[in-house]
Structure 1
Amino acid sequence: MQQLIQGIDLESWIAVEEGWIHPTITDAEGKEIPKPKKSWSAKEKLEAKFNAKALSAIFTSLPMNQFTKVQGCKSAKEAWDILQVSFEGTSNVKRTRTDMFKSEFENLTMSAGESIDDFSSKLSSIRQEAIVLGKTYNDKKLVKKFLRSLP
């Protein structure tokens, strides 16, 4: 998703990271109210555009069951934060998942009837999932694991 949004526009990804807030003005009573779009500055319009692009990319990339979690969001950052917790979990969940991937990696063996391609795909899949959680396996470790796992 990050690559998709950055591909659309780097400024759109910045809107995801930093967030966007609807411009406001102070009314006669001293309360902040949403600023009418007609009176937005060029910078405010540009920031809103980047947020809209990112939010649109997020919305259109999600299946319906995930979209319902973020459909009311007005900023891409708000939607992104919800999805991060949904997919990655809190730091405790991340730590637990990382530990599970470590165990899965260490216990992975190639079965007698399994092709080298299939086993290599399993190993690659575990590596990619671990990267998402912040754990990396270097090539040397992967080659050792591959050779040790051969029947």
Structure 2
Amino acid sequence: MPCERQRCTLLKAMDERAWKSILTGWTAPKIVDKDGDYILKPETTWTIEKAQISSFNAKAINAIFSSMDMSMFSLIAYFVTAKDAFDTLQKHCEGSKSVKRTRMRLLNSKFENIRMSEDETISEYDQRL
């Protein structure tokens, strides 16, 4: 998947409210049945606002699904909300904050240890750098 700014831009171009559904999340409307259990509210009884919000989630998750190869798609295929799929992909591709910090320290260390060898030209060193 593209970097976060590109993901945001692509979804905003499609429909800015689709990107907002990733930021805020979406849950299907529920009602309480006669036994006191929460069940999904039939879509035919949703308000126009609830149907629109569901549509934004559907657009976002469709965009995410459409941009995945099969190996990545298998990670998110069972998600119903775009936010859950996006968060899972982000964590899988970029790692948690502690993983990111560790990667950054490792890259920083590698960069600090780069030295030009005596038999290397400046252009070779520059290319390697």
TM norm structure 1: 0.70
- Other structure's SS at 1:9 match: helix
Equivalent residue for 1:88, pick from 85, 94, 113:
94
Distance in 1 (CA, whole Å) between partners of 2:12 and 2:32 is: 34
1:59 and 2:57 are equivalent in the alignment: no
- What does residue 49 of structure 1 align with? 55
Shift of 1:14: 1.0
Matches within 5 A, 1:127-146: none
Distance in 1 (CA, whole Å) between partners of 2:54 and 2:111 is: 44
- What does residue 18 of structure 1 align with? 24
Matches within 5 A, 1:56-135: 56-107=62-113, 112=121, 114=124, 119=127
- What does residue 8 of structure 1 align with? 14
Distance in 1 (CA, whole Å) between partners of 2:18 and 2:115 is: 43
Shift of 1:76: 0.3
- What does residue 4 of structure 2 align with? none
- What does residue 41 of structure 2 align with? 35
Percent identity, aligned pairs only, is: 36
- Other structure's SS at 1:28 match: coil
CA RMSD of aligned residues (A): 2.2
- What 5-or-longer segments of structure 1 have no aligned partner? 123-148
Cα distance, 1:33–1:100 mapped onto 2, change above 3 Å = same
Ranked by relative contact order (alpha carbons within 8 Å, sequence separation 6 or more), the top structure is 2
Aligned length: 119
TM norm structure 2: 0.81
Distance in 2 (CA, whole Å) between partners of 1:4 and 1:28 is: 44
- What 5-or-longer segments of structure 2 have no aligned partner? 1-6
